[in-house]
């Protein structure tokens, strides 16, 4: 098991109250020793000065993983960003976040032309950017064989990480309204950031592509190289567990690199640190399941940074780092090819989701009935 997951998983329940309490810090410097950002500024997460550098943090969660007191610096600095934005957002544009907001806030490359009722594929931002051919291949295969359409949009995590709480809520509400209007009850995500962020934010079912591949019996086993765990999946490793059935060899986890350099939107404020982080993995082949990570490692000189989904699907595509923005722009106008009997497939898709809801409702009724009968039996016994 990844050391970070072991450490965070071993925290005592009574330490949970310390998660956002800087005053609980014992200044052991363990967080500093494991974080390039804190090392650069000679700070630990308990130092009040760290809040002045909230936008310099990569929000990778490494400090929480190694903190003996259970302090989550990621959450503390995210709350500081939210506090900063409550007085306005002019500071974001003045320090270089204007272009990011221009693209991500109302996602510039959004494409809603290929929606279907029931389920949709949600590739996110960076997988289509770096792997446009695999994105098209998967979208067309799902549409042709399962009647599942595609929604190209941003999950809004970058906007949320900048501290724009109100704007994030509004954009997620807009996404919910779109899904409801198209009778979509399930989105299938490729990105671990989308998965971890949207799962607790949307009322529809959020599943990973790896869950669906297992369900459908699709995909091949692959031999992975050194494995880099994306930041959002390190603590619970939900997506990694879903990927393991496709791995033909044991994992050799990369534990010496805290982040790919793109976390927390910090690369804009810390370009040198971001460059160092992406170069730190070296040039030996590695595997990951985050397109942001694989693309950034390729940019850093690791030309054999592969994405596991691409390999599981039997594709040979390498991360296209030279045309990532152009790839996103082109997919804005992408249309799925119509196939015969699509209406029958869509109807079957809707019926399948309706059946699932009915089964879940029946199971819930049975569970409640058992609870009530159990309480009645206990009352009679006590009497």
Element (H, E) at 187: strand 184-189
- Residue 101: strand, helix, or coil: helix
pLDDT band at 3 (very low <50, low <70, confident <90, very high): very low
* CA 170 and chain centroid, separation: 19
Would you give the DSSP letter of residue 56?
G
Higher pLDDT, 236 or 347: 236
User: What pLDDT score was predicted for residue 382?
Assistant: 46
Task: Work out the number of other CB atoms within 10 angstroms of the CB of residue 244.
Answer: 12
Over residues 235-251, mean pLDDT: 95
Beta bridge partners of 150: 114, 121
Is 50 in contact with 38 (CB distance < 8 Å)? yes
Report how far apart, in Å, the C-alpha atoms of 138 and of each of 195, 331, 369 are: 18, 14, 43
**Is residue 228 predicted with pLDDT exceeding 90?**
yes
Instruction: Tell which residue, 52, 46, 45, 53, has the closest CA to residue 23.
Output: 46
Over residues 171-177, mean pLDDT: 97
Instruction: Give this prediction's pTM.
Output: 0.85
pLDDT band at 18 (very low <50, low <70, confident <90, very high): confident
> What's the mean pLDDT when you consider all of the chain?
89
Residues 271 and 282: their CA atoms lie apart, in Å, by 18
Over residues 53-75, mean pLDDT: 95
Residues 67 and 65: their CA atoms lie apart, in Å, by 6
Over residues 258-264, mean pLDDT: 96
């Amino acid at each position: 098991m990844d050391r970070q997951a072991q450490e965070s998983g071993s925290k005592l329940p009574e330490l949970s109250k310390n998660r956002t309490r800087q005053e609980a810090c014992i200044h052991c410097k363990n967080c500093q020793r494991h974080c390039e950002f804190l090392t650069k500024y000679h700070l630990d997460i308990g130092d009040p000065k760290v809040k002045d550098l909230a936008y310099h943090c990569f929000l990778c969660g490494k400090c929480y993983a190694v903190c003996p007191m259970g302090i989550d610096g990621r959450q503390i600095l995210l709350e500081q960003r939210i506090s900063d934005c409550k007085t306005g957002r002019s500071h974001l544009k003045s320090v270089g976040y204007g272009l990011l907001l221009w693209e991500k806030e109302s996602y510039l490359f959004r494409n809603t032309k290929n929606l279907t009722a029931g389920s949709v594929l949600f590739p996110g931002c960076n997988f289509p950017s770096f792997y446009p051919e695999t994105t098209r291949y998967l979208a067309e295969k799902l549409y042709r064989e399962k009647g599942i359409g595609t929604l190209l949009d941003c999950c809004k995590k970058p906007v949320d990480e900048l501290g724009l709480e109100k704007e994030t809520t509004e954009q997620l509400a807009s996404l919910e309204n779109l899904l409801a209007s198209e009778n979509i009850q399930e989105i299938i995500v490729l990105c671990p950031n989308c998965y971890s962020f949207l799962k607790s934010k949307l009322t529809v079912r959020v599943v990973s592509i790896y869950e669906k591949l297992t369900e459908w019996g699709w995909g091949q086993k692959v031999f992975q190289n050194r494995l880099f765990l994306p930041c959002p999946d390190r603590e619970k490793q939900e997506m990694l567990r879903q990927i393991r059935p496709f791995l033909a060899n044991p994992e050799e986890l990369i534990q010496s690199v805290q982040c790919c350099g793109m976390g927390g939107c910090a690369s804009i404020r810390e370009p040198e640190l971001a460059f160092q982080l992406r170069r730190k993995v070296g040039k030996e082949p590695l595997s990951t399941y985050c397109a942001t990570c694989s693309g950034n490692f390729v940019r850093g000189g690791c030309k054999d940074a592969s994405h596991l989904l691409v390999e599981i699907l039997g594709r040979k595509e390498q991360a296209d780092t030279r045309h990532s923005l152009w790839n996103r722009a082109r997919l804005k106008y992408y249309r799925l090819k119509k196939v015969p009997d699509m209406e029958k497939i869509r109807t079957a898709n809707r019926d399948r989701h309706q059946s699932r809801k009915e089964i879940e409702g029946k199971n819930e009724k049975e569970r409640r009935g058992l609870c009530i009968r159990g309480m009645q039996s206990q009352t009679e016994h006590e009497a």
